[in-house]
Structure 1
Amino acid sequence: MSTKVTTKGQVTIPKAVRDLLDLKPGSEVRFRYNDNRDIVLERADGERPPSKFRKLLGHAGPGPTTDEIMKMWRGDDD
């Protein structure tokens, strides 16, 4: 993924990166070096957006308990 620098020194952050960092208009970002001297782009507020899986947590309802799951696996009948 690459982008060009404008004559004003600006770049457009690709949509995939904006989505990954959950950036909205007005969000502040920070550029920093990591230990390998790579440049890292991160949210300036330090927040880490929830993972795709974390966003889905709880959407399927409470689900069965561990004991109920074990009974199903074992084929236990009450």
Structure 2
Amino acid sequence: MRSVIMMITSKGQITIPKEHREALGLLPHTDVEFERVGDELRVRKATGSVRGEKLIDAMKGKSTLSMTTDEIMRLTRG
């Protein structure tokens, strides 16, 4: 694949060109990891997502109610 020059926005964002996203299977909401090697920044598809783990860790101990899974399911399903 050819090299592509992209500009970083004021928010620090870049757009990964479509041909590269498709070649690597980078779909919307895909986790990626960054690795700095010397003066290069390497981006690759993450091997494992920690998003769910972070969410669960953030929610632990926050509940003020004690409910069973069945009770929660009944509430969420109307």
Q: TM-score, normalised by structure 1?
A: 0.49
TM-score under structure 2 length normalisation: 0.49
